Amino acid sequence: MARTISLSFSLDPQSHHHHHHHHPPPYSTTLYKPHQTPFLAPKHTNPLLASNKSSRYNLTLSFSSSHPSSPTSSSSTLQDSVRSGRFFTAEELKKLQFLENFRYYQELRSGSMWVRVMKENEIDMTVGLLSESFAESMLLPMAYVNLLGFLVKQYLIERRTLIPHTVTLIGFYRGEDEGDEELAATAELCFNKRGANASPPTPTPPKESPYICNMTVKKPLRRKGIGWHLLKASEELISHMSYSRDVFLHCRMIDAVPFNMYIKAGYGIVKTDSILIWLTLQRRKHLMWKKLPMLDSPSESDVSDPTDKIPS
């Protein structure tokens, strides 16, 4: 059953997270990836060596789309995705397998974190994280928070129908003195034109290029380096999933700390919203760009043993 969501508005928080580091934390990075040849880059593999990002993320969600979807959407595993009835090319099947196996692990001073692709049964908790983040920044009453959660869920379900051209990542955190992990962060990645949002924020990024958006870190877990490494994981995955090395994202002009972090991460301003954007009740934003490095081999990044026990 096709669904059309045409609300044609953006949720643009006026003040988001405040848990940023001015400099990259001196943590040791361990990248956990399946031992298989990357399937996209013609001659090179481009794992990202170092990147940083503040956790005051652009949380502009556009709910204007017309992609068909089903009640269950894409499923959490390759096998279930194939059973969904959608036709996948051989290249898409390889991408699905890579996404299913992708893990990024990071030791932090206060614990550890890992990042992977969101599964279907994790949509609700991801919706909760995004909705709480919006509500905090927009000071919405509870009635509107519930509506916001409904809209965000419809958005995530619909976006899952476009896997492997776009994907939602989720990050988990475990403190040094805690036994259980908890959902800590999320980010959405668009790898190509087929995965691009039908109505992206302005200034409009190129649809054919990778785009990072809707990143947030749970409030009690800020200032631990989680957001920093969520961006690093995002760029690492993009380097394997897209031919293009040109990555775009948005940053609001009022967010000085994340802007400085983007600059230190290698992003530069491409274009800035006109002041007339205020007429739409939105904050002015920079469209920022970075070219991921081309590396001859993945040896410049640490790859952990696939037998290491990383939560699935």
CB proximity list for 141: less than 8 A, separation 6 or greater: none
- Phi-psi bin for 134: left (phi > 0), alpha (psi -120 to 50), beta? alpha
Q: Which of 219, 252, 256, 214 is nearest to 234 (CA)?
A: 214
Q: How far apart are CA 53 and CA 266, in angstroms?
A: 10
Write down the catalytic residue from 155, 173, 262, 267.
Answer: 262
Pairing state between β 182-190 and 211-217: antiparallel
Terminal CA-CA length for the chain: 31
Q: How far apart are CA 196 and CA 187, in angstroms?
A: 14
Q: Residue 262 catalytic?
A: yes
Cis peptide before 71 (omega within 30 of 0): no
CB 288 within 8 A of CB 264: no
Q: Which of 217, 281, 238, 258 is nearest to 95 (CA)?
A: 238
CB 105 within 8 A of CB 30: yes
Q: How far apart are CA 304 and CA 163, in angstroms?
A: 26
Burial (CB count within 10 angstroms: exposed 0-12, middle 13-18, buried 19+), residue 128: middle
Q: Which of 277, 274, 275, 249 is nearest to 263 (CA)?
A: 249
Question: How many helices (H) and strands (E) in the chain?
Answer: 6, 11
Catalytic residue numbers, as ranges: 262
